[in-house]
């Protein structure tokens, strides 16, 4: 859990793309800590749902890096374990932000053949859960197809002023209500190439606003 008064790390302590100089406040979570925490989540998932065939449903675009790293860690653990876990990865895209504001209506793009999830063990991998409203809409859509099991892994959970009471089954970090970028999390398609999770500043928001 990262507290509301956590000052973060100075950008001067890390390397990051030069084209983002002046656009960030500070580093909230360094890349190395993300990697270690993801490895631990993979271990927890293996302990809970190992010995099962799993369909991993990656939520694009922000979840692709976390998903790729999580799946790789699970595969490595599976290879070195008596419990073999078979995984297939599919993708769905949710659109619910304009600039840094969450929109009321959410679009689900792709994943047209969600009927293939019937009777399957499904692990949804998401980058960040805020109010939980977006994830609830996705879960309601998937539950119509009667999967055997649904679990959700999110890299981040954001403490918001209007939570819907939803918590994912697995999550890496609980963070304050900040707009964060990096590690594939974007602001209007920028900052996905940033390895660390950082807080964007007002200059960065204005520079990349659409």
pLDDT of 188 reads 92
Residue 165 belongs to a domain: yes
- What is the band of 134 on the pLDDT scale with cuts at 50, 70, 90? confident
Residue 77 belongs to a domain: yes
Residue 44 belongs to a domain: yes
- The answer to which of 113-117, 127-131, 176-180, 182-186 has the lowest mean pLDDT is 113-117
Print the SS3 string covering the chain: CCCCCCCCECHHHCCCCHHHCCCEEEEEECHHHHHHHHHHHHHHHHHHHCCCEEEEEEEECCCHHHHHHHHHHHHHHHHCCCCCCEEEEEEEEEEEEECCEEEEEEEEECCCCHHHHCCCEEEEEEEEECCCHHHHHHHHHHHCCCCCEEEEEEEEEECCCCCCCCCCCEEEEEECCCCEEECCECECCECCCCCCEEEECHHHHHHCCC
CATH number at residue 144: 3.40.50.2020
- How confident is the model over 75-128, as pLDDT tens digits? 998 888 777 788 899 998 877 655 555 555 666 776 557 888 899 999 999 999
Residue 171 belongs to a domain: yes
Region 150-171: mean pLDDT is: 88
pTM above 0.75, yes or no: yes
Residue range of the domain that includes 62 = 33-175
């Amino acid at each position: 859990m990262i507290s509301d008064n956590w000052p973060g790390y100075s950008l001067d302590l890390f390397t990051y793309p030069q084209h983002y100089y002046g656009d960030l406040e500070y580093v909230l979570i360094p890349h190395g800590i993300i990697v270690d925490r993801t490895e631990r989540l993979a271990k927890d998932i293996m302990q809970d749902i190992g010995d099962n065939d799993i369909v991993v449903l990656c939520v694009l675009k922000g979840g692709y890096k976390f998903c790729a790293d999580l799946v790789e860690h699970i595969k490595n653990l599976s290879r070195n374990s008596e419990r073999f876990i078979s995984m297939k990865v599919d993708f769905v895209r949710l659109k619910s932000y304009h600039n840094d504001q969450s929109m009321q209506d959410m679009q689900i793009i792709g994943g047209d053949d969600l009927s293939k999830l019937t009777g399957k063990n499904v692990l949804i991998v998401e980058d960040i859960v805020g109010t939980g409203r977006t994830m609830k809409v996705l879960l309601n859509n998937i539950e119509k197809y009667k999967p055997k099991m649904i679990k959700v892994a999110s890299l981040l959970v954001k403490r918001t002023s209007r939570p819907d009471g939803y918590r994912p089954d697995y999550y890496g970090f609980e963070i304050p209500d900040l707009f964060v970028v990096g590690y594939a999390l974007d602001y209007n398609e920028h900052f996905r190439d940033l390895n660390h999770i950082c807080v964007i500043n007002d200059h960065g928001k204005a520079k990349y606003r659409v």
